[in-house]
């Protein structure tokens, strides 16, 4: 899912990267200036990044219910599917790295052992199969999509690099840091954040979604970019949201590349500050008029 095809790589290298260098970001909106306004947190409150960036509740009442009333939501079917698909993608990529370190350049062994992972994911899908019988087919499609991309890349690299060793091979076959743990406390965020993927060669924050596109999804990549800038003090200018969708019995993958500009950074800061104020002052914003029925807090508001 995270691999770029030739057209996407060309669009990134010849389009978004040059444009991101031309569109200079205001220095006060870089994460490394976390110690001064507007990035400096106004309240001594730590919020999960998903609550700041997620606007599935138009009024923000999900934040109030979670952080003030301490209500714990039950994951809906869409959230459970997303979690399963995320786990599959990460596990397959991490397993690929392990197999390369264990087996070196033995393509046949790596491919055979990787294929053996599929039954485990089909078993994990069993609890969801009563409500969604098609989940088995979707898991198999997603696994095969990953499997063939990985094995093709492995074969291609080995055909061009006859003397490559395990460490270099693993880094080229899986050129991502997966589920990178980040401390967001400098920015008033949780100290245990997890970014889906980071590509150092670009560099680019990547987030994975299964479901319809939303404009506010870009707040997630923006938040992680600010946190990484605060921690490592180098600029992150590009984000990419990978959308997976099962349609007509097939898996479709689309990528939303975007420049993490001043506008997105300011929007993230405003969301953070407003939600911090809501929690600090224990303000109930009330029910939204146009709730998403997939909101995990829907039953608390409308039961």
Give 255-293 pLDDT, tens digit per residue: 999 999 999 999 999 999 999 999 999 999 999 888 877
pLDDT at residue 293 in the model: 75
- The total number of structural domains in the chain stands at 2
Same domain, 169 and 181: no
Check whether residue 227 and residue 263 sit in a common domain: yes
Residue 75 has pLDDT above 90, yes or no: no
Does position 201 have pLDDT exceeding 80, yes or no? no
pLDDT for 303 beyond 90: no
Query: Would you say residue 290 lies in a domain?
Result: no
Question: Whole-prediction pTM value?
Answer: 0.94
Tokens of 184: 């967001």
pLDDT beyond 90 at 174: yes
Indicate whether 149 belongs to any domain.
yes
Q: Compute CA distances 99 → 64, 106, 139, 272, whole Å.
A: 45, 9, 21, 41
Residue 153 phi/psi, 5-degree rounding, is -65, -40
Q: Can you tell me the distance from the alpha carbon of 276 to that of 73, in angstroms, rounded to the nearest whole number?
A: 20
Residue 265 to residue 282: CA distance in whole angstroms? 25
Give me 219's structure tokens. Answer: 């707040």
Provide the domain limits for residue 275.
Answer: 6-69+176-281
Higher pLDDT, 203 or 2: 2
Q: Are 144 and 272 members of one domain?
A: no
Residues 147 and 181 reside in one and the same domain: no
Residue 303 lies in a domain: no
Report the CATH number at residue 14.
3.90.320
Give the pLDDT score at 91.
97
Work out the pLDDT band at 33, boundaries 50, 70, 90. very high
Q: What are phi and psi of 50, to 5 degrees?
A: -65, -30
Question: How many Cβ atoms from other residues are within 10 Å of residue 81's Cβ?
Answer: 21
In the structure, what pLDDT confidence band is assigned to residue 203 with cuts at 50, 70 and 90? Answer: confident
pLDDT bracket for residue 296 (50, 70, 90): confident
Instruction: Count other Cβ atoms within 10 Å, centred on residue 31.
Output: 24
d(CA 71, CA 299): 11
């Amino acid at each position: 899912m995270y691999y770029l095809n030739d057209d996407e790589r060309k669009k990134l290298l010849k389009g978004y990267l040059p444009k991101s260098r031309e569109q200079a970001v205001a220095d006060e909106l870089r994460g490394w200036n976390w110690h001064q306004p507007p990035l400096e947190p106004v309240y001594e409150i730590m919020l999960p990044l998903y609550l700041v960036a997620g606007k599935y509740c138009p009024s923000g009442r999900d934040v109030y219910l979670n952080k003030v009333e301490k209500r714990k939501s039950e994951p809906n079917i869409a959230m459970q599917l997303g979690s399963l698909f995320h786990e599959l993608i990460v596990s397959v990529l991490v397993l690929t790295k392990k197999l390369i370190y264990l087996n070196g350049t033995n393509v046949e062994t790596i491919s055979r052992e990787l294929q053996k992972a599929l039954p485990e994911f089909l078993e994990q899908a069993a609890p969801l199969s009563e409500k969604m019988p098609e989940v088995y087919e979707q898991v198999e499609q997603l696994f095969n999509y990953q499997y063939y991309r990985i094995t093709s890349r492995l074969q291609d690299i080995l055909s061009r690099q006859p003397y490559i060793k395990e460490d270099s091979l693993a880094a080229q076959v899986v050129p991502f840091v997966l589920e990178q743990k980040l401390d967001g406390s400098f920015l008033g965020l949780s100290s245990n954040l997890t970014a889906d993927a980071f590509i150092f060669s670009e560099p680019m924050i990547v987030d994975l979604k299964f479901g319809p596109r939303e404009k506010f999804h870009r707040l997630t990549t923006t938040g992680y970019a600010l946190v990484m800038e605060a921690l490592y003090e180098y600029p992150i200018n590009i984000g990419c949201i990978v959308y997976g969708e099962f349609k007509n019995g097939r898996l479709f993958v689309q990528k939303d590349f975007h420049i993490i500009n001043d506008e997105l950074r300011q929007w993230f800061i405003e969301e953070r500050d407003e939600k911090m104020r809501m929690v600090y002052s224990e303000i109930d914003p009330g029910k939204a008029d146009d709730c998403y029925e997939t909101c995990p807090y829907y039953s608390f508001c409308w039961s």
